[in-house]
Amino acid sequence: MDIVFLIYEGMTALDAMGPWEVLARLPGARARMVSPDGAAIRTDLGVGIEPAGGIADVARADLLLIPGAGDIRPLLVRTDVVDWVRRLDASTTWTTSACTGALLLGAAGLLKGKRATTHWAAFNALAKTGATPVAERVVTDGKVVTAAGVSAGIDMALTLAARLADSDTAKALQLAIEYDPAPPFDGGSPAKASAEIRALAGRLLAARR
């Protein structure tokens, strides 16, 4: 099972590393990270990641995962990356994204007429790609699976693990990484947060960009 993660300058680390902790542990999985030019990248908060190669080294994959970024727009105008995502999708069993990575799938034309999700702050941009935004943690439409913001990528990876292996394996992986969320505050979605907290979150996101 060939699993490919696209990594790129300015991406959000947890968007990739959360799902990686699950999918790279699947029995029989060959997981690798590739960057647009094969060069090392730094995430939006300065974490360095060394890829296994570049997109030119990957012609097919069973599963493709696109992580998001605080500002993914520079990637959306790279025709080489957009074309590569579109070509790779022709061979995948699953084409997936976490957070604003969905906007790259949309730029490649892979979300037209599909239900999809992304970070709540990017729903308007998602709709412009022809997708129908859905306020859920994980959305599956055909072979396309999208996750909401950042931490939702782990939920998506466990959902995929159950499909790629079985539910017991997915449950065992969840236990192995001790993924048993018990957040100190019940405000992790716009529906639960106050207007003041939503505004503060927006300012924090803007500051990161």
Bridge partners (DSSP) of residue 35 are 54
CA dihedral 86, 91, 94, 98 (to 10 degrees): -30
| Nearest of 109, 98, 36 to residue 63 by alpha carbon | 98
What span, in angstroms and rounded, lies between the C-alpha atoms of 183 and 181?
6
99 is an active site residue: yes
What span, in angstroms and rounded, lies between the C-alpha atoms of 72 and 180?
30
Catalytic choice (76, 99, 110, 156):
99
Catalytically active residues are 99
